[in-house]
Structure 1
Amino acid sequence: MRYGVNLLNFGPGTTPRNLERQATDARALGFTFAMISDHIAVTPDVHEVYPAPFYDQFVLAAHLAGRVPGLQLGTTITVIPYRHPLQTARMAANIDQLNDAGFILGAGVGWSAAEYRTLGVPFEERGAITDEYLAAIRAAWTEDPCSFEGRYVSYEGIRTTPAPASAQLPVWVGGDSPAALRRAGRLGEGWHPFMPTLQGLRAKLPVLAAAAEEAGRPVPELVPRLQIVLDERPDTEDRPLGHGSVDQIRGDLHALAELGATHVLFDTYPGDPAARGTAEDDRQVLETIVEKVVDTSTGEVR
């Protein structure tokens, strides 16, 4: 497996300098990729969970591409309906060209109805918009000139180069709802659930495989994002993978390997600004993971 780090691009005290430090530390610890979260309008409900300042994921990825070589960059996730698909396609392809280690487009529908209202995008139609926009993004990566006719966007003869540098810029589809699993099977190279449980993965992976088979596509890779909380937890069916002791998290990684996971993203953010530690606390958590749980040089679980 390959291991990555979720860069925390928000909150009081976040600066370009400490964002670069996060990425540099990730590379120094042997992580091969780093991903960045998405919000455009930091509405009150967003601010409660992901407080301002909030650095744009694409701008930050482009910034880091020139300063931290050797680290694949990506988004976890891009809220696809927030931007015109031609804009998303161009930004992702450009960063894939500019970053020597490439780019991953994480794709999802988001959760903030207030943010959708602020941006003038219909929240109730977010799933249908995401599906159409992802199809348009793929077309823009492979067709130049590109024409597209859809319910939400239509255009003709648009020049879209540069194409991505990668033969296949991977799309990791987030979410674990039935609709998200269908979307991942039809449109993704990876399925990117957040805070999964082992029981949930075992139940949903066959659904993902069936969706891919129906679409005539390969089954997407399992590429989860684990929130890391180091403490002792009962081994119940609802324990999120990544929550527990070092031994429990080591077991979680072994279980993911048995399920065929190819990438695992570690996220040190506890989900509550009041519970967030310092940048040094985050680094110590990642150091513990590298020293006691995974060997980032080989990809093996210790």
Structure 2
Amino acid sequence: MRVGITVPNFGPAATADSLRAWAAVVEDAGFDFLMVGDHVAATPAVTAAYPGPFWEPLTLLGYLAGVTRRVELGTTVLVVPYRDPLLTARSLAGLDQLSDGRLLVGVGVGWADDEFAALGVDARRRGEITDEYLRALIALWSDDVVSFAGRHVAFTDVDTRPRPRRRPHPPLWIGGNGAAARRRAVRFGAAWHPLRTPAGWLRTTGLPGLRAAAADAGRDVPALAPRVVLHPTAERRPDDDRLTGEGRPDQIRADLDELRALGATHVLLDTHRDAEAARGDDHAAQRALVEDAAGWLAPS
């Protein structure tokens, strides 16, 4: 099981120097991958949860590809309806090429209605737009010249080169916790990427739901690659009142052991707590937490 870190690409502390330091910590501490979040329009709903400035993820990953050597780089999650799939496919293919095939593509449908409005996208149709755009992305990564005809996007004889380095394309992780996300993961994803789930929920609810969705579709069950919090506490937390990855270090280590036993191929750790914390200059403290955690996160 590979373990990664969410790099907070938002808030006053998210300077270019800080983001470069994050990449160095993730790589030097021995983690396997890093991921960054996505927002295009920093509307009030967005900044209430993720204070500005907010770095555009594909631009940032291009930079981080140049200052890292080993770790994989990805999005958690790229909001598919926000960008024309022609642009998204080309940007991600270029990132995969320039990073020597280190790209992971976590995707989702989005949630901020005012951000959709600012971008001129109908939030009520974000699920169907996402599904069609994903089909277009996969087509664009699958051949040198591609035509596509859909309800939301259509194009003819587009030269797609350079195509991604990884074939057939970079791994697609489908983000989201609900039934629709699980069905989308079965249809499109190399992995299901649930986000910040309650302790034990994946075992009791999430994975049974994923297996049922795969059985209904007559398809294989995708891999499990969750994003969980990294919130160590001094006191033990009750399991019925904590998130996966929250509690004493021994509880967090047990959570990772359970995810490994459940077959998770990747686990992404997220130090972000809330908007108030993100407004503070706490990136150095978060990086120190990550460096310390690297020593006690080994399998028990």
Normalised by the length of structure 1, the TM-score is 0.94
CA distance in 1: counterparts of 2:277 and 2:287, whole angstroms: 18
**Alpha-carbon distance, 1:210 to partner:** 3.0
Alignment correspondent of 1:245: 248
Residues 16 and 48 of structure 1, relative CA distance in 2, 3 Å threshold: same
Checking the alignment, whether the CA contact within 8 Å between 1:195 and 1:227 is kept in structure 2 is yes
**Alpha-carbon distance, 1:238 to partner:** 4.6
Structure 1, 283-292 or 256-265: larger mean CA deviation: 283-292
CA distance in 2: counterparts of 1:159 and 1:271, whole angstroms: 43
Alignment partner of 2:200: what SS?
A: helix
CA distance in 1: counterparts of 2:272 and 2:290, whole angstroms: 12
**Alpha-carbon distance, 1:198 to partner:** 4.1
Alignment correspondent of 1:211: 213
**Alpha-carbon distance, 1:73 to partner:** 0.4
CA distance in 2: counterparts of 1:138 and 1:238, whole angstroms: 40
Alignment partner of 1:237: what SS?
A: helix
| Aligned positions, number | 296
**Alpha-carbon distance, 1:31 to partner:** 0.8
CA distance in 1: counterparts of 2:236 and 2:219, whole angstroms: 38
Matched, 1:258 2:261: yes
CA distance in 2: counterparts of 1:101 and 1:179, whole angstroms: 29
Alignment correspondent of 1:236: 239
Normalised by the length of structure 2, the TM-score is 0.94
**Alpha-carbon distance, 1:292 to partner:** 1.1
Alignment correspondent of 2:69: 69
Checking the alignment, whether the CA contact within 8 Å between 2:75 and 2:106 is kept in structure 1 is yes
Alignment correspondent of 2:273: 270
Matched, 1:292 2:296: yes
CA distance in 1: counterparts of 2:196 and 2:52, whole angstroms: 23
**Alpha-carbon distance, 1:193 to partner:** 0.8
| Structure 1 unaligned blocks of 5 or more | 295-300
Structure with larger RCO (C-alpha < 8 A, sep 6+)? 2
Q: Percent identity?
A: 44
CA distance in 2: counterparts of 1:51 and 1:114, whole angstroms: 15
Matched, 1:60 2:60: yes
**Alpha-carbon distance, 1:237 to partner:** 3.1
CA distance in 2: counterparts of 1:86 and 1:23, whole angstroms: 29
CA distance in 2: counterparts of 1:85 and 1:216, whole angstroms: 28
Alignment partner of 1:148: what SS?
A: strand
CA distance in 2: counterparts of 1:162 and 1:95, whole angstroms: 10
Alignment correspondent of 1:297: none
Alignment correspondent of 1:40: 40
Structure 1, 38-47 or 207-216: larger mean CA deviation: 207-216
Alignment correspondent of 1:178: 179
Amino acid at match of 1:158: V
Checking the alignment, whether the CA contact within 8 Å between 1:70 and 1:100 is kept in structure 2 is no
CA distance in 1: counterparts of 2:188 and 2:211, whole angstroms: 13
CA distance in 1: counterparts of 2:36 and 2:193, whole angstroms: 13
Alignment correspondent of 2:88: 88
CA distance in 2: counterparts of 1:14 and 1:254, whole angstroms: 32
Alignment correspondent of 1:51: 51
Matched, 1:165 2:165: yes
**Alpha-carbon distance, 1:7 to partner:** 0.8
Alignment correspondent of 1:298: none
Amino acid at match of 1:172: W
Amino acid at match of 1:264: V
Alignment correspondent of 1:31: 31
